[in-house]
């Protein structure tokens, strides 16, 4: 049996959702599976492909911005390193010139109908041309996976890029509704203690979609349909770690194969092998090299979420008041697509030599630099994992989606971070005080100690006998058994 299995080579078509926070972990999962003997056909939308190629440093130096060459194969480096990864791009239904962020509601609504048809057509060709295609790996947020997997007789594998806690809340929506914590005329505000594997959770820790009173929004409809669909998946892989969410993961495992294989972070030879960034990164290394160990605060609020102007103003003032050295990623669209945010008067003069403000950076490189000692973050799941992986404690300012839930894990469960804002509205004094609590004194020492422990847990999970490695190997062996 062992020998027969070892000759089987699963071939998976992998399709991420077209956002930075989903594309990056899906590419990294593809590299991981390919390094364990999978053949991968990775599918990006033309738009995402265009953004990656436009942002890659090689492209920048060689050609002008307008000359976007759709022919570049972002996986070429992976192939020359011996990985069997093919690459395809398909249309998301809109021309490249269409502004998807500014028109996100229209884009998402149309995309819901058009994109599955494009995926269906592509799979029809792939399966016909290459009978070895055996698995479909898509983001859990897709609503159509089981229909298409069934049509082409493929193993249906769902990839959840967020923690198990955020998954289980959506998975048990029926319980939240039945108990009056969601979609009720008189929504309950007391503790939620009936989700399997979750001891206790406050309503403020629910994902923002479950805190919203708009129960028919597009996001809500997509998530509702997607979580019905995921119940048909043959396997669910998640970018999380068994030891950190053991009860939650074990409870879901009673219903479906749910395998924690995280943190899916590029390491060893796969680091930097494939470009994943949708924006051009500024170099921060030279500046960081001039700063003492653990002295710099890194502040960034992810790839796409927008903040209130008043909050960003208070953060700017708070950074000045804290007197801490910092790197701040301030995306041009941090507040609005219409107008670039302008820093308060005098900010540049008062932070000269102390602060570096950039539109985008290579976050993992910044976090792994020894000079960085804290991360002010919106708690996007990739940011959380990257920070913990680098042993950097967090200052949490959740804004949307799974971020309030991720905050609970970071601050309440693992004690690796502090809340930025205990009271509304956010004030500059509170920002400065919390930055100092994160960066210096006994509180900082305690946070660093707990973060170090979590980092060790992550490292152990990825070691040869570690939980994530074992889960991934078990998954591969089960897939092989299924397709043999
Ligand atoms: C989205 C959701 O908002 C988030 O809640 C969910 O958990 C994942 O999908 P995003 O808001 O972009 O993600 O945040 P995050 O998950 O942190 O992902 C951002 C990614 O962009 C990270 O991998 C980070 O390293 C990268 N990044 C960010 C950079 O490389 N450079 C930057 O300057 C900022």
pLDDT tens per residue across span 411-460:
999 999 999 987 789 999 999 999 999 999 999 999 999 999 999 999 99
21 lines ligand 1 (CB under 6 A): yes
Dmax (CA) for the chain in angstroms is 71
Strand 85-90 and strand 133-139: pairing?
unpaired
Question: Ligand 1 atom 27: the closest Cα is on which residue?
Answer: 363
Going by pLDDT thresholds of 50, 70 and 90, the confidence category of residue 2 is: low
Ligand 1 geometric centre to CA of 149 (Å) = 29
> ipTM beyond 0.95?
yes
Q: Which atom of ligand 1 is nearest to the CA of 377?
A: 17
- Of residues 261 and 186, more confidence is placed in 261
Ligand 1 geometric centre to CA of 435 (Å) = 21
pLDDT at 467 over 50: yes
Q: What is the pLDDT of residues 278-297, one digit of tens each?
A: 999 999 999 999 999 999 99
Per DSSP, the chain holds a count of helices (H) and strands (E) of 21, 13
Question: Ligand 1 atom 11: the closest Cα is on which residue?
Answer: 302
10 lines ligand 1 (CB under 6 A): no
Going by pLDDT thresholds of 50, 70 and 90, the confidence category of residue 306 is: very high
Question: Ligand 1 atom 4: the closest Cα is on which residue?
Answer: 380
Q: Which of 293, 302, 326 is nearest to 396 (CA)?
A: 302
362 lines ligand 1 (CB under 6 A): yes
Which of the 8 DSSP states describes residue 307?
-
Question: Ligand 1 atom 1: the closest Cα is on which residue?
Answer: 21
420 lines ligand 1 (CB under 6 A): no
Going by pLDDT thresholds of 50, 70 and 90, the confidence category of residue 340 is: confident
374 lines ligand 1 (CB under 6 A): no
What's the pLDDT at 66? Answer: 47
383 lines ligand 1 (CB under 6 A): yes
Tokens of 246: 């053991």
What's the pLDDT at 63? Answer: 47
What's the pLDDT at 58? Answer: 61
Order of strands across the sheet with 325-329? 355-358, 325-329, 296-300, 372-377, 394-396, 417-419
275 lines ligand 1 (CB under 6 A): no
Which of the 8 DSSP states describes residue 257?
-
Ligand 1 geometric centre to CA of 114 (Å) = 26
Between 99-113, 203-217, 452-466, the lowest mean confidence (pLDDT) is in 99-113
475 lines ligand 1 (CB under 6 A): no
Ligand 1 geometric centre to CA of 294 (Å) = 22
If you average pLDDT over residues 164-187, what whole number do you get? 95
Find out whether 100 and 47 touch, Cβ atoms under 8 Å: yes
What's the pLDDT at 3? Answer: 64
What's the pLDDT at 268? Answer: 74
What's the pLDDT at 70? Answer: 58
pLDDT at 234 over 90: yes
Instruction: Give the predicted TM-score (pTM) of the model.
Output: 0.96
403 lines ligand 1 (CB under 6 A): yes
CA distance linking residue 394 with residue 296, whole number of Å: 13
Q: What is the pLDDT of residues 51-70, one digit of tens each?
A: 999 998 765 444 444 445 55
Q: What is the pLDDT of residues 208-233, one digit of tens each?
A: 999 998 888 888 899 999 999 999 99
300 lines ligand 1 (CB under 6 A): yes
55 lines ligand 1 (CB under 6 A): no
Torsion of CA 207, 213, 217, 222, to 10 degrees: 40
Say how many C-beta atoms besides its own lie within 10 A of residue 80's C-beta.
9
């Amino acid at each position: 049996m062992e020998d027969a299995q070892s000759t089987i080579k699963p071939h998976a078509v992998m399709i991420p959702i077209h956002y930075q926070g989903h594309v990056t972990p899906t590419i990294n999962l593809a590299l991981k599976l390919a390094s364990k003997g999978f053949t991968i056909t990775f599918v990006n939308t033309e738009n995402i492909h265009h953004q990656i190629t436009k942002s890659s440093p090689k492209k920048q130096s060689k050609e002008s911005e307008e000359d976007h060459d759709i022919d570049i194969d972002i996986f070429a480096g992976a192939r020359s390193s011996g990985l069997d990864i093919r690459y395809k791009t398909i249309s998301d239904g809109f021309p490249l010139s269409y502004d998807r962020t500014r028109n996100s509601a229209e884009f998402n609504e149309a995309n819901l109908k058009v994109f599955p048809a494009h995926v269906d057509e592509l799979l029809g060709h792939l399966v016909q041309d290459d009978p070895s295609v055996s698995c479909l790996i898509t983001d859990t947020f897709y609503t159509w996976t089981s229909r298409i997997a069934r049509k082409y007789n493929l193993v249906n594998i769902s990839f959840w890029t967020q923690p198990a806690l955020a998954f289980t809340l959506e998975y048990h929506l029926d319980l939240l509704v039945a108990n009056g914590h969601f979609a009720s005329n008189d929504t309950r505000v007391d503790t939620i203690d009936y989700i399997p594997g979750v001891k206790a959770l406050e309503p403020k820790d629910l994902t923002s979609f479950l805190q919203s009173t708009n129960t028919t929004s597009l996001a809500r409809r997509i998530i509702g349909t997607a979580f019905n669909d995921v119940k048909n998946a043959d396997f669910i892989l998640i970018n999380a770690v068994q030891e950190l969410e053991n009860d939650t993961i074990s409870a879901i495992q009673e219903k479906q194969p749910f395998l924690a294989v995280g943190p899916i972070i590029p390491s060893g030879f796969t680091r930097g092998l494939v470009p994943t960034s949708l924006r051009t990164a500024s170099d921060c290394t030279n500046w960081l090299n001039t700063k003492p160990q653990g002295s710099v605060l890194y502040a960034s609020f992810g790839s796409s979420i927008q903040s209130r102007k008043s909050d960003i103003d208070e953060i700017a003032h708070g950074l000045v008041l804290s007197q801490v050295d910092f790197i701040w990623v301030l995306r041009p669209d941090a507040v609005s697509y219409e107008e670039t945010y302008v820093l308060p008067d005098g900010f540049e003069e008062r932070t000269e030599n102390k602060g570096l403000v950039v539109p985008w950076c290579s976050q993992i490189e910044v976090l792994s630099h020894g000079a960085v000692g804290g991360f002010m973050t919106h708690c996007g799941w990739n940011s959380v994992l990257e920070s913990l992986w680098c042993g950097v404690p967090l200052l949490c300012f959740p804004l949307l989606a799974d971020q309030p839930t991720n905050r609970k894990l970071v601050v309440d469960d693992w004690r690796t971070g502090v809340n930025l804002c205990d009271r509304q509205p956010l004030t500059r004094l509170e920002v400065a005080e919390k930055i100092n609590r994160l960066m210096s004194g006994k509180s900082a020492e305690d946070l660093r100690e707990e973060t170090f422990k979590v980092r060790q847990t992550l490292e152990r999970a990825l070691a040869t006998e570690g939980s994530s490695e074992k889960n991934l190997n078990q998954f591969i062996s089960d897939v092989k058994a299924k397709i043999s």
